[in-house]
Amino acid sequence: MIILRNKRRGMCGRASIEKLCSRCLFIFPVVASITVIWTLFIASNNITTKLTDILAEVDLNETNVNTHKGYITLNEINEFVFKPFGYEIIEATLPVPTVHMLNEPSCGFIFSEWLRVSQKPQPSIPPKEIPESFSDEFLLNGYAGLTKWYFNDHSSTGDSPRNWNRTSEFMSFSKAELGALAYNKESESMYNAMSGYPLRSKSGLVIGSMQPWVEVMALKHGVRKVLTVEYNSLTIPNEFRGRLSATKPVEFAENWQTYAGTFDFAASFSSIEHSGLGRSHRKEEMYLTRLKLSKASNKTNNKVHNSTSFDLQDFNVYTFKGYISLSELNEDAFKPLGYEIIKPTLPVPTLRMLNEPTCEQVFKDWLKILSERQPETPPVHLPIIHADDYLINGYSALSWAYMNNNTKKEMKPKNWDRIGEFLNFSNSQLAALEYQKESESMYHAMNDFKIKGMTGFVVGSMQPWLEVMALQHGAQRILTVEHYSLDIQNGFEDQLSSVHPEDVAKNWQLYSNQFDFAATFSVLQHVGLGRYGDPLDAKGDLREMHKIRCMLKKGGLLFLGVPYGTDSIQYNIQRVYGSLRMAMMFYGFEWIASYSGDSEKPFELHSKRLHKQSLFLYTHYTLVLKKL
């Protein structure tokens, strides 16, 4: 079932609503009118700009909704259902996407159009088939299912209002007794909803009511007045005429300005779904149901990131193979590698480890791999036996770009004797020492997440640009974990020190839960590929993330800079991190911010930005993660 919703408040037509469009009342002096029109013109341009920005960020291929055809992407639904009906998705909420109207009609037009359609001649007997000319509109261009189940309630003698003379008696009924008057347990949901949203002393509207169970529920919740809009004539008991009243839909439509802006709430139960189907064969009913527009408030709890109950078929992430459902990835990518999706966050799903290793085991396993005999030169080809681990069971792309930096003389630390000089460098000068503009993302992240007085460590550092950034932001002490020996400039021994990774692993208890923050930039993507003489390890980068997490205090920050794009490996140069590898890397952390070198402010790394470049291309960003 697909539901169309509009985020603006107000009410127009026979549907669930909160307020009638008071903005439609516009009798003002000429000068005031010009002022208002000009103000609305400027505001509409701002709204259009903001809406364009929102739509540019939404990747509708990431999300599916279930229809009778199966799971369909919101992109397809947007193009073939919503847009032809005058709507467009602005937020990929589930299970009900949030839409806006492309050309929203005024309330005056809605009611006049409703009156026009209601006055058209109707068949003497309700048709047993959907009129062919209206088939696409009834069936949402084929995305709504159809079954045959015919009623002609126009000829039914029992279809008439009842029990309105028992209103006083109903006031003493319990919730269950009132529910039994209509749809039993299901009707109690109306009572529960009214209890959750206090209605005392408010004025409301009921759409469609053959007997007054909804009205009585409202009165029991302290409602001051209720107007019932019903096709049949209702006889209100004298003692309730100050609180209850009734009108017919035609009268309501003809006098809509009288009611505009007068209601605090509206209620309707099992009424609107019949409108326009001809079952009751009332003269006023219409076939063009899309003209009967509801403008109810669009407040909802259906937020992907906060869902506690979800269907992984509803969500997709982008891979080099195209958009793949999280259900498929959970079974064929994550579970075989020891992970499982626990929350369908996008663009990076949230995982848990099926068998999480202890810190002792993490460092022990790392030392074991380090001790294993390695090839004298890095292999030219990806080891077949570990291909699934490297390539996430075939969901990460592979290209060949071989380098052997283990033998290059220029691969040695430099500039550690210039730390004092570097402390006077600007952020752009420091960034120019390594990755130019992209490196500035680290500076921006540290500027927002204060590290003054904190103790941190840096993973991998051939020259001290990152350490200096941390010192410039007030870090108290920094330990650099590096395979090469570092000759730190005299005078900085109290602030900077270094250690070999093997020493950390052998004495891991000394480093466990000791640090407030960690930072690494363009290092982890190389780990386990052998390019720098390191041991071949398909999970080398994931192992490094476990080690970092062990060393951080709870709540400690990780400033993580790696190449981001679509999941791939340029063997043996580096990995590029997309939704899948990021998900595994982020286990045990909360992703709290993203920074680029282009702006001091954080940005949203949504799917379109993550995958904006072609396969194997990438951008270094700095993401800020917090240890859970």
Residue boundaries of the structural domains of the chain? 107-291, 336-627
Handedness of CA 428, 434, 436, 440 (dihedral sign): negative
Please state which CATH number belongs to domain 336-627: 3.40.50.150
The pLDDT value recorded for residue 279 is: 78
Displacement of CA 112 from its chain's centroid (Å): 38
- Tell how many helices (H) and how many strands (E) occur in the chain: 22, 22
What sign for the dihedral angle of Cα 72, 75, 79, 82?
Answer: positive
**Which residues lie across from 459 on neighbouring strands?**
481
Q: Please count the residues of the chain.
A: 628
pLDDT tens column, 560-617: 999 999 999 999 999 999 999 999 999 999 999 999 999 999 999 999 999 999 999 9
- Residue 32: the pLDDT is 42
What is the overall mean pLDDT for the chain? 86
Indicate the pTM of the whole model.
0.74
Cα dist from 541 to 329, 535, 537, 544, whole Å: 20, 12, 8, 5
Q: What is the mean pLDDT of residues 537-556?
A: 98
Secondary structure of 217-250 in HEC code, one letter for each residue: HHHHCCCCEEEEECCCCCCCCHHHCCCEEEECHH
CATH for 107-291?
A: 3.40.50
Residue predicted with more confidence, 286 or 251: 251
Instruction: Please give the structure tokens belonging to residue 79.
Output: 């193009």
Same topology between domain 107-291 and domain 336-627: yes
User: Is 347:579 a contact under the CB 8 Å cutoff?
Assistant: yes
> Which amino acid belongs to residue 110?
I
Dump pLDDT digits (tens) for 262-311.
999 999 999 898 888 887 755 433 333 333 333 333 333 333 444 456 89
> What's the pLDDT tens digit per position in 150-197?
888 765 555 689 999 999 999 999 999 999 999 999 999 999 999 999
**Do 379 and 536 meet the contact criterion of CB atoms below 8 Å apart?**
yes
Confidence grade of residue 345 (pLDDT, cut at 50, 70, 90): very high
Q: Identify the band that residue 29 occupies on the pLDDT scale cut at 50, 70 and 90.
A: very low
